[in-house]
Amino acid sequence: MFHGKLFMTNKNYRIFERLRVAVLLTFISGYIDAYTYHTQGGRFAAAQTGNVIFLGISLAEKNMERALAYLIPIFMFSFGQWFNYLVRGYLSRHSIRWHAFSSMMMLSLLVFIILLTPLLPPIFTISSLSFFASMQVNTFKRLRGMPYANVMMTGNIKNAAHLLVKGLVEKNKAYQKEAFLTYSVIVSFIIGIILSSLVTAYLEEHSLIFLLFPVGLVSYWLYCEDVK
């Protein structure tokens, strides 16, 4: 019954659940994590598992300064979750749509980061981008009715593999469709990483400017839906 939803047209889903939005969001996440890895000392804004691993390694090596460096994005990502919970509750009580508000806030934050990154120390950039990633993952959680993650890929890889083999063995096209959708966002994430790595090699910290288009496009789509 649930899987039948996958064959509905895009018109049956809100903008924030559509494939085009999910693909852009995972592209953004891949781009940001590659950017912070190359420009912020091997740290990740979104992939907190990587930060936790390097935090543990730093502690084992008794490198407290390095451990603190990895703790910063972990804390800011957590802070983003606290912030989202409180703000979303407030907006809900005042009948303000969360997805449109959050996307506009993400766009504003990105502009803020782009302008100030060349002027401020690295702690500002990694902290702000971790907060940005936390907002993104907490705002956009579903793809055509099914849950997915747009800033970390472990769960997506697991789900895609499971759905693919289940769909093939059981000859269930709905499961196969879910697998295709999930693999689509994984590929988009990888493309974001590749493009970010290439651009950052030349533009370094200024390469974040290329994210204005996908983030702005998502915000525009949600705004247009909101005013209809």
What DSSP string describes the chain? --GGGGGS-GGGS-GGGSHHHHHHHHHHHHHHHHHHHHHTTT--SS-HHHHHHHHHHHHHTT-HHHHHHHHHHHHHHHHHHHHHHHHHHHHHHTT--HHHHHHHHHHHHHHHHHHHTTTS-HHHHHHHHHHHHHHHHHH--EETTEE--SS--HHHHHHHHHHHHHHHHTT-HHHHHHHHHHHHHHHHHHHHHHHHHHHHHHHGGGGGGGGHHHHHHHHHHHHHHHH-
Q: For the chain, give the percent of residues with pLDDT over 70.
A: 93
State residue 96's pLDDT score: 76
Q: Is residue 77 assigned to a domain? A: yes
pLDDT for the residue 223: 79
pLDDT at residue number 44 = 94
pLDDT digits (tens, 9 = 90+) for 12-52: 777 778 889 999 999 999 999 999 999 999 999 998 999 99
Mean pLDDT of 193-200: 96
pTM for the model: 0.88
pLDDT score for 153: 92
Total number of domains constituting the chain: 1
* Per-residue tokens: 98: 């969360």
Residue 170 lies in a domain: no
- Residue-level pLDDT at 228: 56
Mean pLDDT, all residues of the chain? 89
Question: Does the pLDDT of residue 135 top 80, yes or no?
Answer: yes
In a domain, 206, yes or no: yes
Cβ atoms of residues 214 and 49 within 8 Å: no
Check pLDDT > 50 for residue 6.
no
Return the pLDDT at 91: 81
Task: Indicate whether 201 belongs to any domain.
Answer: yes
48: tokens are 């907190």
**Within a domain: residue 187?**
no
- Region 218-225 average pLDDT: 84
Segment 61-88 shows an average pLDDT of: 93
Q: Is residue 107 part of a domain?
A: yes
Establish if 156 belongs to a structural domain: no
pLDDT at 77 over 90: yes
Does residue 172 belong to any structural domain of this protein? no
pLDDT of the residue at 227: 55
Span 80-97, average pLDDT: 84
Domain around 113: 15-151+193-227
What's the pLDDT score for residue 193? Answer: 96
Q: Flag whether pLDDT at 74 surpasses 90.
A: yes
pLDDT computed for residue 8 by the predictor: 46
Give pLDDT, residue 102: 86
